[in-house]
Amino acid sequence: MARWEPGARERMVVAAVDLFTEQGYDITTVAQIAERAGVTRSTFFRHFADKRDVLVAGQATLSRLLAEGIEQAPADAGPLAAVAAGLERASNEMGPLNRDLGPRLKAAVAASAELQERDALKNIGLAAAMATALLARGVPDPTAHLAAEMGVLAFKRGYARWSETPADTTGLAPHTLAALAELRAAATTLG
């Protein structure tokens, strides 16, 4: 096995998502993921604690990018404008692999209660990262948490649209920003 080849982590993510989709999460083993990715089991465990962690392979990076974008927003930016800056920063780092995995990952999560739970925890982590960055900007607590939750929802909606339109060459950012604008408009109708 060529465990020294570059891209082992990405290959393991693709292999896991494909196997989860093909045969189900519960049946898929770490050994199968490693074999399909062309790595050893020990290489798998250097990257992931277990097969469930593959689902959140980029969560730490995504949380960091969202927070950095919020931190780097202009000082006079309101909470949602700062969230938009975070969404744009994170979205601009997403490439074709992220888009290609979207529909398969969605199907795998939909078919497994355990993956649905892990996905929900991932969303909580993303919201916490954004809320912390907003609080550091001096945004009041309830506003920071509401804006962060809207940011997570906008990211999810934008990512879903982007991954379902493979011919779209505009990138993820326009989709997440449009989703945030739609949510902002919808919030004004809540009364």
Domains of the chain: 8-53 (1.10.10.60), 58-187 (1.10.357.10)
Q: What is the pLDDT of residues 6-25, one digit of tens each?
A: 689 999 999 999 999 999 99
Look at residue 5 in the predicted model and tell me its pLDDT. Answer: 58
The predicted structure's pLDDT at residue 72 = 97
**pLDDT value of residue 136:** 98
- pLDDT at position 54: 86
Residue indicated by tokens 């339109």:
165
Q: How far is CA 12 from CA 27, 93, 107, 154, in A?
A: 16, 20, 18, 28
As a three-state string, the secondary structure of the chain is CCCCCCCHHHHHHHHHHHHHHHHCCCCCCHHHHHHHHCCCHHHHHHHCCCHHHHHHCCHHHHHHHHHHHHHCCCCCCCHHHHHHHHHHHHHCCCCHHHHHHHHHHHHHHHCCHHHHHHHHHHHHHHHHHHHHHHHHCCCCHHHHHHHHHHHHHHHHHHHHHHHCCCCCCCCCHHHHHHHHHHHHHHHCCCC
Pick out the chain residues at pLDDT < 70.
Answer: 1-6
